[in-house]
Amino acid sequence: MTRSFDGRPAEAPCSDALLVKPAAGRSIWLATSMKRYCLAVVILLLATGCSKAASDQNGAPADLSFYGTSSPSPSVTASPLGADQLPSLPWGTIDAARTAVGGLNLGLVLKVSNQVTMAYLPGTVLTQKPAAGTVMKSKQAVYVTVSAAPACDPSYPTICIRPFQKSLSCKDLTVRNFLVRPPDPYRFDTDKNGIGCPQAIKPPKSPRSSPSP
């Protein structure tokens, strides 16, 4: 066991005790240097741990879905399809479905029905029949249900605004002070009080009273 200059067992390296007997002035300097060294080691270990935790957290994918504009990922067939097997069509576009069905070169007939919804972008395939992997025969029918947008956005029930427009602001509208419900995709209700494109209403002028005779 290592002992100090007075015969007592030496303490841990990060303590104030010294392993050698230095001059009085140098003793203070060594003790201060040792404390600074230990503090630097502790800070370095903490920084390494925090950096790893942040890296682990940032590694998770962020949820980028948005109400009314998200679609699930296209389903994946477990095994490779044969030349006459129907591929998986849901969650792709109707144009992609037409290409996939036509690519089988069997003269298949694609029959489309629409479902009005705000949950998916217009033109998204929601269902298919027959199921993916079905062996198809020449000129057989394939039925798909495709999302279609309503005529008016339900967030604005008192006026009719076409949904899924890229950009729209109060400057594009002539109406003011209309009812707004969530999710308010065009952000007409910035203060979240349920009134879109607010505008102060001036009280009507009172008619001038005629002087009494």
The per-residue pLDDT for 104 is 94
Whether the full predicted model's pTM is greater than 0.85, yes or no, is: no
The whole-number pLDDT of residue 51 equals: 44
What's the pLDDT score for residue 148? 97
CA-only gyration radius of the chain, Å:
37
* Cβ atoms of residues 124 and 93 within 8 Å: yes
The pLDDT, as a whole number, for residue 46 is 61
For the chain, the domain total comes to: 3
Domain hosting residue 27, numbered range: 1-53
pLDDT along the chain (213 residues), means of 10: 48 44 53 66 60 36 38 49 89 96 95 96 96 95 97 96 91 95 94 92 68 60
Q: 188, 197 in Cβ contact below 8 A? A: yes
Number of residues that this document lists for the chain: 213
| 209 in a structural domain | no
Please check whether residues 138 and 191 belong to one and the same domain.
no
In a domain, 59, yes or no: no
Give the CATH number of the domain where residue 84 resides: 3.30.10.20
H/E stretch holding 179: strand 178-179
Any residues with CB less than 8 A from the CB of 75 and at least 6 apart, and which? Answer: 88, 90, 91, 132
Same domain (yes/no): 18, 37 = yes
Side-chain-facing half-sphere of 28: CA atoms under 13 Å = 2
Q: Is 211 part of any domain?
A: no
Residue ending a domain, among 118, 133, 149, is: 149
